[in-house]
Structure 1
Amino acid sequence: MCAPVEPAAPALSFSIAPGGCLALLGDRAADLSRLLDTLAGHLPRVAGRILLDGRDVTARPAGHRGLGLFSARDPLFAHLTVRRNLAFPLEARRMARPAVAARVDAVLALLGLDGRASSRPRVLTPQDEWRARLGRLLVFAPSVLLLDDPFAGLERVDRVAMRRLLARVARAQGLTLLLTTGDREDALLLGDAIGVLSGRALLQIGGAAELFDRPACDRVATGFGDANALTGRVAWVEDDLASVRLASGARVEAMAGQGLAGDMLCTLCVRPDRIATLFPAGRPGADDDGEDTLPAVLAGLHHMGDHIRLRFRLEDGQEVLVRRPPAQNLTGLVAGRAARLAWQPAHAVAFPFRGEMR
């Protein structure tokens, strides 16, 4: 668990199950780095405690907490071979040479670097350089790895390969991971749980399904779930259901977020893959008998390979994105085509407008 790194920062509190991975997805890389530096002991904390297997390690100096920090800010020594880079931190601690050699050999084998042990960093591929930096950390055998945007700077193919390697090594070694990243795909593929941050504020922690389907606020819905955000006013709230009059004048229903009340301004969030589309035949306005549907006009269409991206414009000028499977028939779908949009109330959430919560 940890506390704010500065007095003005909101407190952060979280836990990670042994052998699990918590991915913190944030929009400010500097704040994420600062958090990990504080946990590792390189920066002073303001308050709170850091517990490892129930032991309070808060007062221990950096390097003696059982936490290993992996960061692109710590490059390899250019004048040393891969083997010597891995051995250096152990030798600096005066570990016996036979023990150093055995530990380095084991890590080189684990990471597939046996054939690159005599190479210097300047001739390494990006993947081998990344493996060597990870190996330099693993020689210490930390039980928890603090991963500071670990794949930053890697090309797509290298990023995918190193993500798989990290997952495989973590499983093989029983490592616990705290990953910070600005890439949602990293968080989804590696995190057993995901924490969504806005600046230094931790908005929600949960599994991917919970964050997608039950976001705690509009910032999680839009920032993590790519939801459309529509402004409206609440007509009524009954149990968990809300009726909302949108700025376009259309009335729709959604689940009521915490704190929502009648006559309150709200932000209605609905994901692009949860919206149904109907393209009425004939003149615009035909088949307009659905009170809970939104009249719209198709403004654009793009085939994205794994889905079709449809962009609609509502009567008040707001735009709504819709995603459809690539097998959908696109015949007759051209810009300017009249449409109606709808969704199940359970697939949308209305949150108090942020201005109403101040």
Structure 2
Amino acid sequence: MSASSRDRKFPLAIEALALSEAAAPFSLRLGQGEALSLLSEDAQSLSLFCDVLAGFASPTCGKIFIDGQDITSEPPEHRAIVLVSPRDPVFGHLDVAANIALALRAKGAAAQLIDATVKKTLALVGLDAQNGHRADLLTPEQAARLKLARALAGAPSVLVLDGLLNELDLRAASKTRDLVTRLQRALGLTLIHAASSREDALWLGGRIALLDRHALIQCADAATLMERPSDARSASLFGEANLLTGRVLEIEDDVARIHLACGGVVEAMADAELAVDALCILCIRPDRMTPLFGALAAGDDETPPLVATIQSVLHTGEHIRFRLRLADGGEIEMRRPLLQPMRGVTQGALLQLAWQASQAVAFPMKDDL
């Protein structure tokens, strides 16, 4: 079966794509009407990926298929992928309708079709009343809606959003997210959104692709990324997990007993590749640790406790955030519910940390972690 036949049911199929010489190739497919969020600590990596999809940058290797057709070498204007980003500004000297009509006129569309398309897209994004307004007089939220209207006018197979919300305040960003969600569901859009944070990656409700150093490290729904990260990078990027180094003392029934470099012996679920006496990275989320304040429990030579010193305590309104220093000088974060008793919880106080083995996961230490 040819690649074209195999990928025809996917509006977007990426095969063995590498964004740079040092990055490992990856493959990815999006189904019709699927919404995918991209998440990385490096905004430039996300923008590079978006530019490669839209044809404004070239991959090191690999292929991109739209509706089964290889468009890897096609210029942006010949791709059924439209990118919306700050690098594609509105034309301030033109009115709203003319901004939308410009690309259609460049493609030679008939005047009647242009008029109908402009009216339709203005209604979709709620800019009917701003039809004749100059684009440079629009609010940031209205400018974002104009960019969406201009993109939708071309009826793209895939819509890519990069930095659409960057220049919006919290209220405008929330309203724009709601608009995009309604459009995506109502029109059955195949959508890719470059997210700047975990919260920003969650609102679409679909799969989330985690990128690190120009490479895809995991692509799954939010629950899987939180509970079953593929490696320490994924756990840290999406689950905001604390990463602790240690040595594996034993593994029994998929539970590893680990002596941490910062002191203390703890347990965690063992990755399939983890081996006894190997160095490892233990991942534990800030909200999964249980503290013992006041008098510390006595350990023994085989199971010394994990002890930390409180560096700071912050009430966020949703939880209490602790910054803790370990015996080796490293710092980690812990979060507790607001109902947590605070007696004796002050800067400089000692506490003991514990967790159930099922709440942590240990991976083999690798050179790239």
With structure 1 as the length reference, what TM-score do the two structures score? 0.91
Gaps of 5+ in 2: 1-13
Matched, 1:95 2:109: yes
- Between the two proteins, the alignment pairs up a number of residues equal to 353
Give the Cα–Cα distance (whole angstroms) in 1 for the partners of residues 21 and 313 of structure 2. Answer: 48
**Change in 2 beyond 3 A, CA 1:207/1:121:** same
What pairs up with 1:275-294 in 2 under 5 angstroms? 275-281=289-295, 285=296, 287-289=297-299, 291=303, 293-294=305-306
Checking the alignment, whether the CA contact within 8 Å between 1:127 and 1:162 is kept in structure 2 is yes
For residue 194 of structure 1, report the CA deviation from its aligned partner: 0.8
For residue 347 of structure 1, report the CA deviation from its aligned partner: 0.8
What root-mean-square deviation, in Å, do the aligned CA atoms of Structure 1 and Structure 2 show?
Answer: 2.1
Give the Cα–Cα distance (whole angstroms) in 1 for the partners of residues 355 and 146 of structure 2. Answer: 50
Partner of 1:219: 233
Give the Cα–Cα distance (whole angstroms) in 1 for the partners of residues 213 and 29 of structure 2. Answer: 20
Matched, 1:83 2:97: yes
For residue 239 of structure 1, report the CA deviation from its aligned partner: 4.1
Matched, 1:338 2:350: yes
Partner of 2:336: 324
**Change in 2 beyond 3 A, CA 1:292/1:175:** farther
Give the Cα–Cα distance (whole angstroms) in 1 for the partners of residues 299 and 58 of structure 2. Answer: 63
Partner of 1:229: 243
Partner of 2:311: 299
Q: Secondary structure at the match of 1:142?
A: coil
For residue 127 of structure 1, report the CA deviation from its aligned partner: 0.4
Matched, 1:133 2:147: yes
For residue 337 of structure 1, report the CA deviation from its aligned partner: 3.0
Residue 314 of structure 1 is aligned with which of 326, 330, 340? Answer: 326
Paired residue type of 1:353: M
**Change in 2 beyond 3 A, CA 1:59/1:314:** closer
Checking the alignment, whether the CA contact within 8 Å between 1:307 and 1:325 is kept in structure 2 is yes
**Change in 2 beyond 3 A, CA 1:77/1:44:** same
Checking the alignment, whether the CA contact within 8 Å between 1:230 and 1:318 is kept in structure 2 is no
Matched, 1:353 2:365: yes
Matched, 1:271 2:285: yes
Checking the alignment, whether the CA contact within 8 Å between 2:159 and 2:191 is kept in structure 1 is yes
Gaps of 5+ in 1: none
**Change in 2 beyond 3 A, CA 1:327/1:169:** same
What pairs up with 1:255-270 in 2 under 5 angstroms? 255-270=269-284
For residue 186 of structure 1, report the CA deviation from its aligned partner: 1.7
Q: Which moved more, 1:223-232 or 1:79-88?
A: 223-232
Checking the alignment, whether the CA contact within 8 Å between 1:253 and 1:292 is kept in structure 2 is no
Partner of 2:6: none
Q: Secondary structure at the match of 1:175?
A: coil
Partner of 1:246: 260
Please list the CA deviations of residues 135-165 of structure 1 after superposition, one character each: whole Å capped at 9, or x if unmatched. Answer: 1111111121012232222222222221121
Give the Cα–Cα distance (whole angstroms) in 1 for the partners of residues 351 and 166 of structure 2. Answer: 42
**Change in 2 beyond 3 A, CA 1:154/1:338:** same
Partner of 1:161: 175
